[in-house]
Amino acid sequence: MSRVERLLPLALTAATLALLTAVYPVNVDFSLENPYWNGMSSLRDLGAIAARLADAHALAPGEHALLIIGPSRPFSEGDARAVESFLARGGLVVVADDFGTANQLLEALGAPVRLAGSPLVDPLFFAGAPQLPLAFWGGRKLALNYATAINATACGACRVLAESSAFSYLDLNSNGRHELGEPEGPFPVAVELRLGAGRLVVISDSSLFINTMLRREANLDFLLQLLGPRKPVLDAEHWEETPLVRAKGLLSAAWRAASSPEVKYALALLALTLALDWGRRSARTGKRF
């Protein structure tokens, strides 16, 4: 058996695994590539693209809005400076979080608002369960999904865009019961403030725009009004990576490398050399292709 014949099954196996990895859908929370309930593939219909915060310097403030949604990884000083620079140039930044990871970024930006972190519960105004409270945006409703509240008491210049009902409360011990000492609503769940020449919008629910929530109540209209004519650019580097996402990233990098002229010519030459070698061996042994 020739070397080519020995390597062929391995090559076919590798190609099959690469193809399966490429086509298998991502199920990471909030990913634009995730078509399931917890993804945000619906945002691609609005022209959303994924990027790194470090690339915010290349975004045109009048044409793009930077969305930081559901972060679970810490922000670096460089991340904060990139967001600060985008705001200074007049950009729109939307931060949506519930567990409070984004508080690190808000502090670095000098924004006088914080996410409470405790679950927001409403025993009267909810959609399906008290942990899925409704909020009020003007005369319209927003459907929340395990949200929290925003502490904006130190922000005199903040504009409250949406708030929970007067019956809502923060479930500090997460036991599902309203107990003495637990803060009562209404609470801000979306606020807007000026930072530099730009606008920062903070939302206390990371799930407001996922596939299963985007078209509930007025959630989509709320997002569209926030964006205006801008194209959404989603921060895609502050979620925990899964092995599938890492594999897809490696495949994407390999594909970009293989698309360069130098690599394409080298691969074509290698394929021609292997084909000629196989042809010579087949001719000597009387085999045919």
Which pairs from 130-134 meet CB under 8 Å and 24+ separation? Answer: 130/176, 131/176, 133/164, 133/165, 133/168, 134/164, 134/165, 134/217
Instruction: Kindly write down the DSSP assignment for every residue of 220-237, as one continuous string.
Output: HHHHHHHHTTPEEEEE-S
- Measure the CA–CA gap between 174 and 180, rounded to whole angstroms: 14
Q: What are phi and psi of 26, to 5 degrees?
A: -75, 140
Domain definitions of the chain by residue range? 3-23+244-285, 41-241
pLDDT, one tens digit per residue, over 169-226 is: 999 998 888 888 999 999 999 999 999 899 999 999 999 999 999 999 999 999 999 9
- CA 134 to chain CA centroid, nearest Å: 23
Under CATH, to which class is 41-241 assigned? alpha beta
> Residue 24 to residues 6, 44, 64, 158: CA-CA distances in angstroms?
28, 18, 30, 43
pTM: 0.77
pLDDT, one tens digit per residue, over 77-111 is: 999 999 999 999 999 999 999 988 999 999 999 99
Query: Which amino acid type is present at position 176?
Result: G
